[in-house]
């Protein structure tokens, strides 16, 4: 496993992380804690020390299981979680101090920790990036010790560039052979500001795995 310093966090993170959207099950199957534990253990044994989760993954079971697994582990594992997608409707007005604090407190409880390593706003509406009040809330949570770092998970490169106006530590963005735009402007600017990058959908949802073939003009895995 290769490691590199993860931006402002100062943490020496594995270049390959574990995403936990479907931790403990296949798509559509019920959550299986033993499968989740086995998955986490396999990643840990291979040197993965960065885990990406979110409060909405498996209705909180992903966070809960990650927290349970890490109890008593000798080596530090850096956990990235996300908040905001529990909002219904998912609108910019929902990104306010009351809700952000509620989400962070729930994640602290789910993982049974005193402080969260890194919290990302979970692909919020574009208007949120133009509202400094939301980032003041995250600054306040840092001062209170509830979170160590914060950042954003984005849908668009323009949103990521907007987020660089704040004291963020990381950006999560789609980047693969079909989506190369982040390398043009975002990556150089993020590097200059020492903001870490988390690449999501690196295999284009399976299209780049080599397991999906076209037969008779029909794509099959």
Judge if the upstream peptide bond of residue 89 is cis by omega within 30 degrees of 0: yes
DSSP type of residue 168? -
**How does strand 78-83 pair with strand 116-122?**
parallel
Catalytic residues: 57
Asked whether the beta carbons of 94 and 56 are under 8 A apart, the reply is no
Of 2, 15, 3, 51, the residue nearest 197 (C-alpha): 15
CA-CA-CA-CA torsion sign (179, 180, 185, 188):
positive
Please name which of 17, 14, 18, 105 lies closest in space to residue 55, comparing C-alpha atoms.
Answer: 105
Count of H helices and E strands in the chain? Answer: 6, 11
């Amino acid at each position: 496993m290769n490691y590199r310093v993860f931006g402002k966090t100062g943490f020496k993170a594995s270049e390959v992380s574990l995403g936990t959207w479907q931790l403990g099950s296949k798509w559509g199957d019920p959550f299986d804690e033993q499968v989740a534990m086995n998955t986490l253990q396999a990643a840990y044994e291979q040197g993965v020390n960065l885990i990406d989760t979110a409060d909405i993954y498996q209705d909180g079971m992903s966070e809960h299981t990650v927290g349970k697994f890490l109890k008593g582990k000798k080596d530090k594992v850096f956990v990235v979680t996300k908040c905001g997608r529990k909002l219904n409707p998912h609108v910019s007005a929902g990104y306010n101090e009351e809700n952000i604090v509620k989400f962070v407190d729930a994640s602290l409880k789910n993982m049974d920790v005193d402080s969260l390593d890194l919290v990302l706003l979970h692909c919020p509406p574009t208007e949120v990036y133009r509202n400094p009040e939301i980032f003041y809330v995250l600054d306040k949570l840092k001062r209170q010790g509830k979170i160590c770092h914060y950042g954003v998970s984005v849908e668009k490169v323009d949103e990521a560039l907007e987020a660089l106006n704040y004291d963020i530590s990381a950006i999560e963005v789609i980047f693969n052979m079909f989506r190369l735009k982040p390398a043009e402007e975002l990556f150089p600017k993020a590097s200059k500001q020492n903001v870490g990058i988390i690449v999501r959908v690196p295999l284009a949802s399976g299209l780049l795995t080599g397991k999906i073939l076209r037969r008779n003009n029909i794509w099959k895995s």
